[in-house]
Amino acid sequence: MIYSVIVDLSASEVDRIFEYKGEGYTVGTRVLVDFANRRTEGFIVAAKETSDYDPAKIKDIIRPLEDFPAISKDLLELGEFMRKEYHLRWADVLRLFIPAEMRGSRVKALSKKQASLTSSDSLDVILNSLKPNATMQRDLVTFLYLNGATLTETLNNEFGNSALRALIDKGIVQTHEIVIRRTPYKDLKVAKTEKRDLLPAQQQAVNTVLGDRQGKYLLHGVTGSGKTEVYLTIIEQIVSEGKTCIMLVPEISLTPAMLSHLRERFGDKVALLHSGLSSGERYDEWLRLKNGEAQIAVGARSAVFAPLQNIGAIIIDEEHDQSYISDFNPRYNTAEVANFRSEQQGALLLLGSATPSLGSYYAARQGKLKLIEMPERINQKPLPNVEIVDMTLETRSGNKGIFSRLLKQQLAETIAKGNQAMLFLNRRGYSSFLMCTKCGYVAKCADCDVSLTVHRDDNMLKCHYCGKHYYMLDKCPNCHESSFRQGRIGTQQIVELLNSMFPDVKVLRMDADTTQTKESHGKILDSFAKGEAQILVGTQMIAKGHDFPKVTLVGILDGDQSLHHSDYLATERTFQLITQVAGRSGRNEDTGTVVLQTYTPTHYCLQLAAKQDYFSFYKREINLREASAFPPFSEIIRILYTGEKEKDCIDQLTEQYAELSNLKGKYSRDFYYMDKMRCPLKRAEKKYRFQILIKISCESVKEILPRIYSVCDGKKRSSVQISVERNPQNLS
């Protein structure tokens, strides 16, 4: 047979099919081949009887890398779709479908030896064949008789190595290899909660979704409306019918609490796919899904590629979350991939959120998704009461601090009552920049066009773009004075301020700095849930999904922060963030309060977020998008040019811009806009950044996009990297 092989090298020059000979391979198998005189791993993507090449020149496949096809036919088909849709290289796509550690054989199944008795005689008969004084051997035999097959390491620990060896020599005991699955979070305490009946709104949502098993749904349920229970009930039903499910959550929601719910409900049927696992655990969980040992894949965006067959449901929780869009190579949109897989498998697709993305809600209003609304919190618990505080008035009345008088008073009350508070500020570190008051010098990263953030815990200046650390300045390198002004307050400084305001209150902080290790994220949340601290300060990490019954106060310290970006998505993001953060308050007995501090108190986004009025916000925002032809009424294409040589970038961009202008001339009606410019972030990680922004009509994308791709493929300078992004989430 002739096999079409994609070599596992991520380079455009080798992004095509190479033919090899062999017999008996299944398509999807990973193989070792001789490529350019080197042994290289590859994927078989097709098989055929004959080749157009001279058969004598076609090399043999050296050997398979696993004794099973790592990639199913269905996933290969998905790969084909993604390659075209996102203009990706084969190798980059195929790598998404297997655990990274499988490549280069960096991980293997873990196997161990087990021992068992060879005969099924009664215990007396076996013991009679042993000497009366061979106590260890007799105890071991008795143990095996009572407990059945046992790991040899356990037996050796218990009875010593020689007893086991002697029994094996006598033929009384035999050993065999078994595969051990490394279970992530093995020691997780599984919450025992009594099973609750669904409330009418939840039952209705479940019925609607299960009513059409191939439907596509958008579940819009306010924070605390019980969406999780809806998802779990649907999964339970689908799995009981012998099908499999994928449930996607933002990475941040994969907390021990969430896992313990899933374990409780589904036990070993769940497999977890996420970056916090060890490579062995990740590989084993993947295998359990592939072998059908587990039927439910739970994970962040990459779990959409779970190696499942016969999928009955794909669920995307918090569907508006930005983490579902991969914005580096390989770029893809998880919801689109899920959509393809659900159609391919005849599965239902369910997107859920308290603040659906405008695009999804628009699609639902257009009838492309079936809209299910859950407008009330469980047991009619009122939504929190949101107080907007005008910070300009605070300043005018002499309060120049970051805490408004109302927030201080509310904090004191919450603490006195023994309740908990969460304070949200999307800026980590101590303060956002360091500036010389004499000459105006601002400390910047040497590699990025980014001012450095002051960090107090290790007294460093850090670049939040590339992560580089610099020593703290004691003198201005420009004028040698030592008088500095610091920029806006970050989470570290908030904690410091709280400690001096409330010396007896324990404060926790959760941001990228305090969650660098695998478990730290869960530990902080756990500790807060147990009531070990009364205040939790955090960045957007604390906005999502968490359910802390004792939280009755949420403070949003800088409600404007994301509002005034030039980006067309800024208002939508701000609305989502505020609604989500506010939704953490008052989830139990006491009604919650939210204090929203802002310098633009009358902005419709903040006003409507305060009322949690999604629909009014949607109407207002969608009208604006339509009037200005922004997505979903157009597609934005960004071509990004980056490179260390500024001139090369400019030359490359200029050439391609000319070609694109020709294209624009041909399709003038469909090109709403095109321009070239420096990126707002002019330089990052030593590379200069330039972009071409294009806005085209949705109808013309299928025709125009491939032409744009082919212009970009005609790149002439190896020092310049070009990437094309569709509807980028971030225009910096």
Q: Cβ(175)–Cβ(114) under 8 Å? A: yes
Supply the minimum distance, in Å, between the C-beta of residue 229 and ligand ADP.
Answer: 4
Supply the minimum distance, in Å, between the C-beta of residue 342 and ligand ADP.
Answer: 22
Nearer of residues 353 and 491 to ligand ADP, judged by Cβ: 353
State yes or no: residue 681 binds ligand ADP (CB under 6 A): no
Q: Which of 638, 635, 707 is nearest to 671 (CA)?
A: 635
Supply the minimum distance, in Å, between the C-beta of residue 300 and ligand ADP.
Answer: 17
**For residues 467-506, which are near Zn ion according to CB under 5 A?**
468
The Cα 93–Cα 76 span in angstroms is 9
447 makes contact, choosing from ligand ADP, Zn ion, none, with CB < 5 to 8 Å by partner type, with: Zn ion
475 makes contact, choosing from ligand ADP, Zn ion, none, with CB < 5 to 8 Å by partner type, with: none
Supply the minimum distance, in Å, between the C-beta of residue 225 and ligand ADP.
Answer: 4
CA distances from 588 to 119, 253, 381, 382, 553 (A): 60, 20, 8, 10, 12
> CB 615: neighbour CB atoms within 10 A?
12
Supply the minimum distance, in Å, between the C-beta of residue 682 and Zn ion.
Answer: 12
Select the residue interacting with ligand ADP from 4, 29, 202, 598 (CB under 6 A).
202
Supply the minimum distance, in Å, between the C-beta of residue 447 and Zn ion.
Answer: 5
Q: What residues contact 71, with CB distance under 8 A and at least 6 apart?
A: 28, 30, 43, 79, 94, 97, 98, 307
448 makes contact, choosing from Zn ion, ligand ADP, none, with CB < 5 to 8 Å by partner type, with: Zn ion
Residue 102 has phi, psi (to 5 degrees) of -70, -30
The Cα 705–Cα 264 span in angstroms is 47
Residue 464 has phi, psi (to 5 degrees) of -80, -5
Supply the minimum distance, in Å, between the C-beta of residue 448 and Zn ion.
Answer: 3
Nearer of residues 48 and 196 to ligand ADP, judged by Cβ: 196
The Cα 687–Cα 717 span in angstroms is 15
Q: What residues contact 576, with CB distance under 8 A and at least 6 apart?
A: 320, 355
Supply the minimum distance, in Å, between the C-beta of residue 325 and ligand ADP.
Answer: 21
228 makes contact, choosing from ligand ADP, Zn ion, none, with CB < 5 to 8 Å by partner type, with: ligand ADP
Element (H, E) at 361: helix 358-365
CA distances from 382 to 377, 420, 550, 591, 612 (A): 7, 18, 15, 7, 11
Binding mask 436-465 toward Zn ion (x if CB under 5 A, else -) reads ---------x-xx--------------x-x
Supply the minimum distance, in Å, between the C-beta of residue 161 and ligand ADP.
Answer: 51
**For residues 169-198, which are near ligand ADP according to CB under 6 A?**
196, 198
Q: Which of 331, 332, 330, 302 is nearest to 316 (CA)?
A: 302
The alpha carbon dihedral of 597, 603, 609, 610 has a sign of positive
**For residues 215-234, which are near ligand ADP according to CB under 6 A?**
221, 223-229
**Residue type present at position 341:** R
**For residues 532-551, which are near ligand ADP according to CB under 6 A?**
547
198 makes contact, choosing from Zn ion, ligand ADP, none, with CB < 5 to 8 Å by partner type, with: ligand ADP
- Write out the DSSP string of 678-702: EEEEEEETTEEEEEEEEEE-GGGHH
**Residue type present at position 447:** D
> CB 496: neighbour CB atoms within 10 A?
14
Supply the minimum distance, in Å, between the C-beta of residue 445 and Zn ion.
Answer: 3
Q: Which residue is nearest to ligand ADP (CB)?
A: 228
Query: Token pair of 144, please?
Result: 């095996």
Nearer of residues 445 and 524 to Zn ion, judged by Cβ: 445
Nearer of residues 88 and 314 to ligand ADP, judged by Cβ: 314
Q: Cβ(484)–Cβ(434) under 8 Å? A: yes
338 makes contact, choosing from Zn ion, ligand ADP, none, with CB < 5 to 8 Å by partner type, with: none
State yes or no: residue 378 binds ligand ADP (CB under 6 A): yes
Nearer of residues 173 and 232 to ligand ADP, judged by Cβ: 232
378 makes contact, choosing from ligand ADP, Zn ion, none, with CB < 5 to 8 Å by partner type, with: ligand ADP
Q: How many residues bind ligand ADP (CB under 6 A)?
A: 14
Using the 8-state DSSP alphabet, how is residue 244 labeled? E
Three-class DSSP category at 379? helix
Q: Which residues bind Zn ion (CB under 5 A)?
A: 445, 447-448, 463, 465-466, 468
Q: Which residues bind ligand ADP (CB under 6 A)?
A: 196, 198-199, 202, 221, 223-229, 378, 547
